[in-house]
Homo-oligomer: A and B are copies of this chain.
Amino acid sequence: MMENDIFKALADPTRRTIFEKLASSQSMNASALRNGMSISQPAMSQHLAVLRQAKLVDEERQGRFVHYRVNPDGLALIVQWVARYSTFWPDRIDALRQTLKEMDQ
C-alpha cells in the first residue's frame, strides 16, 4: 500500500533529514545531499530509492548527475490521513487553521 510506504519512508530520521534538505532547496544531486551528513554513498543511494518508491521525491538525470527534488504531491496522503482524524478534535483543527493563517503573512 502506498500510505504504508510513505509512513515507513518517513519513519527513519536520516530519510527525514534528506527530505528536509530537499525541501529547503530547489533540487540536489546525491553527492550534494551527502554534504554535512556522515553517510556513505551507497547508504544515500538506498535512502533515496526508498523515498522515490514512496513517491516523496522525483529524480531527473542530467548527464552523470541525478537531480532529486521533492514531489509536491508526496505528502498529500499524510495530510489527508491526519486531517481525517483531526475532525474529531476541534481544538487541534483550530490550531492547524491558525498555522495556516500565520503562513499567510
Whether the pair B82, A86 counts as a contact (CB closer than 8 A) is no
* A4–B63 CA distance with the chains assembled, in angstroms: 36
Whether the pair A7, B10 counts as a contact (CB closer than 8 A) is yes
Whether the pair A99, B82 counts as a contact (CB closer than 8 A) is no
Kindly report how many copies of this chain are found in the complex they form together. Answer: 2
* A16–B46 CA distance with the chains assembled, in angstroms: 26
| Contact of A100 with B by CB under 8 A | yes
The smallest beta-carbon distance between A28 and chain B, in angstroms, is 14
Q: Find residues 78-105 in chain A having any chain B CB closer than 8 Å to their own CB.
A: 78-80, 82-83, 85-89, 91-93, 95-97, 99-100, 103
Whether the pair A82, B78 counts as a contact (CB closer than 8 A) is yes
Whether the pair B92, A75 counts as a contact (CB closer than 8 A) is yes
